[in-house]
Amino acid sequence: MAMGKQLQTVLTLSGQYAGLITFGIFTTFPFIWALSVALSGDPSNTWLFPRSFIPTDVSLMWFKRVFDEMPFMTYMKNSTLMTIESILGVLIVSILAGYPLARLKFPGRNFIFVSILATMMLPSEVAIIPNFITLKHMGLLDTHLGAIIPNFAAAFGIFLMKQAFEAVPQDLVDAARVDGATEMQILWRVMVPVTGPSIAALGIFSLVNAWNDYIWPSIVISSRDKLPLAVGVFNDLTGPFATSYSMVMAAIIMTVIPVLIFFAFTQRFFIGGMDGAVK
């Protein structure tokens, strides 16, 4: 009998891992290709499949060339700064806004929520020109702040926090009220700790968004030394005079890896404790 159960477990586990590995290949194969091209000293197999998944003539020369031909560290520093500021901005605004929408009764609540939602449904490209003019009046053109501030009040972040706050049991809130806590204290002492996983998720989303943001920063920023990576790579390494595809791949790999490492280290925060986060 024990054998049967063990066999079942082994089969289930194998099935699970098989599924995970297959799906993993599905999600990572473009990245593997880019990595292979970036590591191939000899680019002649780049476009031959499946050959190009294995590097030809392994070498780090393309990575080195990226540093030679492009101010990579400057761009990286800009991206890092802008991303950290973005995350802070989004989190603060979303947490503050999500709380009353989720837990407080007040006139105009539904109207505000629907309006915020409605903004998600509009094409974002049309906001480029009005926002550009606004930034000019505020003197924020060609600044990092100007490049990220429109993203602070993101409907998605507010919506996410609202949903998360709604799921918090009322008794926790009532207990805190009975203790005489102010709303601000309830928010930061009760709500935020309990919705940790959602906040972490919002954090990582903002990070990826800010890191990869291209259109708006490219329009707002004109000084080369203020550009983030996402824009700098395309400005400097592509176009009719670009000589090497492999270099672009190497640059892209270097753009992805920092975020990947960050994700791997922090993902336990939005997976939380495995004993069920909310008791």
Residue type at 232? G
Q: Do residues 248 and 229 touch, judged by C-beta distance below 8 A?
A: no
Kindly state the smallest distance separating residue 144's Cβ from other proteins, in Å: 16
Give yes or no for residue 13 binding other proteins (CB under 8 A): yes
**Site of tokens 């603060």:** 92
* CA separation for the pair 143, 217 (Å, rounded): 9
Kindly state the smallest distance separating residue 239's Cβ from other proteins, in Å: 3
Considering only the stretches 3-11, 78-86, 95-103, report the one whose residues sit in contact with other proteins under the rule CB under 8 A: 95-103
Kindly state the smallest distance separating residue 107's Cβ from other proteins, in Å: 6
Kindly state the smallest distance separating residue 77's Cβ from other proteins, in Å: 18
Give yes or no for residue 145 binding other proteins (CB under 8 A): no
Q: Do residues 42 and 57 touch, judged by C-beta distance below 8 A?
A: yes
Give yes or no for residue 84 binding other proteins (CB under 8 A): no
Segment 253 to 272, residues that bind other proteins, using CB under 8 A: 255-256, 259-260, 263-264, 267-268, 270-272
Containing 18, the helix (H) or strand (E) segment is helix 2-39
Among 61, 69, 74, 145, binds other proteins (CB under 8 A): 69
* CA separation for the pair 215, 217 (Å, rounded): 6
Considering only the stretches 3-11, 40-48, 77-85, report the one whose residues sit in contact with other proteins under the rule CB under 8 A: 40-48
DSSP string, 126-145: GGHHHHHHHHHHHT-TTSHH
Among 2, 4, 107, 171, binds other proteins (CB under 8 A): 107
* CA separation for the pair 71, 55 (Å, rounded): 26
Nearer to other proteins, 125 or 171 (CB): 125
